[in-house]
Amino acid sequence: MRYLPLSDTDRSEMLARIGVKTVDELFADVPKSLLLKEPVDLPRRKGELEVERILSRMAARNISASSVPFFIGAGAYKHHVPATVDHLIQRSEFLTSYTPYQPEIAQGTLQYLFEFQTQVAALTGMDVANASMYDGSTGTGEAVLMAHRVTKRRKAVLSGGLHPHYAEVVRTLSDMASDSVVTMQPDVSGSEDILSQIDDTTSCVVVQSPDVFGNVRDLKPIAEKAHKHGALLIAVFTEAVSLGLVASPGSQGADIVVGEGQSIGNALNFGGPYVGLFATQSKFIRQMPGRLCGETVDADGNRGFVLTLSTREQHIRRDKATSNICTNSGLCALAFTIHMTLLGETGLKRLARVNHANAIKLADQLAGVKGVEVLNRTFFNEFTVKLAKPAAEVVERLAEKGVLAGVPVSRLLPGAGLDDLLLVASTEMNTDDDRAALVAALKEVL
């Protein structure tokens, strides 16, 4: 076949050269619980029109985020993206450009990456930012590896408020490198004693704020304890808009700041692609993963941009690379930069205030529903509620009524005994009518 050029003999020779007997052995590092026991339940072959009809019927089972009242967050948030953003990123100069290896023909690409880095550094309160990571979760994994290189230690402490998917990425990478990971118990209240876990063997402490349950954390005491023991504080966020209102991680003593930039300029997009934001102090710049664009002048004194640092496999000395990230999320980073430029500092702060105000309105209304308890003392635009029934069951019932109410904690932390908890997010996209619909539907279901 055209797309399957290898014969059985070819495959046998390749496996023999690698040193394994079967193709299945190549997946030995994947947990067996995650491997399919049998092929996916789909027809083995269908014509093009039949495939289109089957997939269309499957897609029709989804409820569009823009078609009903929507309160889902947990790491990906529905915000308004101005039409200008999509219009500009679809220009051929941006949409078809690739990695700027030749600065003399990539000045536009290098400049917007430079502007992106400047914006991220200002947002996070850090000295320097790279030209983006894949997303927040993989960026967090890279941050932990960077901390290990800086401290020459191999133990990470993960807060119980860290997004479970982010924590899982860290554990996967750490397991491959035989590094140690201490994962705190899920911390719904935001009051965990993470300071007690920091000692002279700790490489880094990873804390999210606002955390996965919505709590806004004070990072200063954690930074002080970490620095006292020679460890680094990695501050994580999943909601970039919060940086318009919450004190920046840099101002609270963070050494590395990493998070998800999807909220600004990037729609939900069925789960990706997104854009990871990564910033640190200038003294750690040589250990930072990814690439860094810098400003310079040419021989005639004209302003120009260059690829100042690039850790991508070091191009030649791959074994010396700080990271093997193969590219940055360039187009998503551009969308972030365009939207941020349109907002400006004043616009971002106003957007953050609107988000917070809408969340307060919703929390107050939900607190008045019998069978609902709001658990947070502090939050930005997302919070946790305790329901009188299992949250997953309630969410399904509400979806049938045309309301997407949030994310059951049991989906993120199955088996943790938190089945009655629901994460609810309210952004600038929610109206009074949306909130009223959620409250009314909850009263019926509960």
Query: 214-269, pLDDT tens digit by residue?
Result: 999 999 999 999 999 999 999 999 999 999 999 999 999 999 999 999 999 999 99
Asked if 181 and 171 touch (Cβ cutoff 8 Å), the reply is yes
pLDDT tens for residues 201-219?
999 999 999 999 999 999 9
pLDDT at position 89 is 95
Residues of the chain with CATH 3.90.1150.10: 345-445
Q: Determine the Cα–Cα distance for residues 85 and 332; give it in Å rounded to an integer.
A: 10
pLDDT at position 29 is 85
pLDDT at position 105 is 83
Residues contacting residue 167 through CB under 8 Å, at least 6 positions apart: 158, 183, 206
Three-state secondary-structure class, residue 10: helix
Percent of the chain with pLDDT over 70: 98
> What's the mean pLDDT in 135-145?
97
pLDDT tens for residues 319-349?
777 887 777 899 999 999 999 999 999 999 9
71 has a pLDDT exceeding 70: yes
Q: Say which CATH superfamily domain 345-445 falls into.
A: Aspartate Aminotransferase, domain 1 (3.90.1150.10)
Given its phi and psi angles, is residue 232 left (phi above 0), alpha (psi -120 to 50 degrees) or beta? beta
Residues of the chain with CATH 3.40.640.10: 83-340
Q: Which of 119, 104, 162 is nearest to 335 (CA)?
A: 119
Model-wide pTM > 0.85: yes
> What's the mean pLDDT in 378-400?
97
Q: Which CATH number fits domain 83-340: 3.40.980.10, 3.30.1950.10, 3.10.129.10, 3.40.640.10?
A: 3.40.640.10
pLDDT tens for residues 286-319?
999 988 999 999 899 999 999 888 755 445 566 7
> What's the mean pLDDT in 142-164?
97
Q: Which helix (H) or strand (E) holds 205?
A: strand 204-208
Residues contacting residue 431 through CB under 8 Å, at least 6 positions apart: none
pLDDT at position 308 is 86
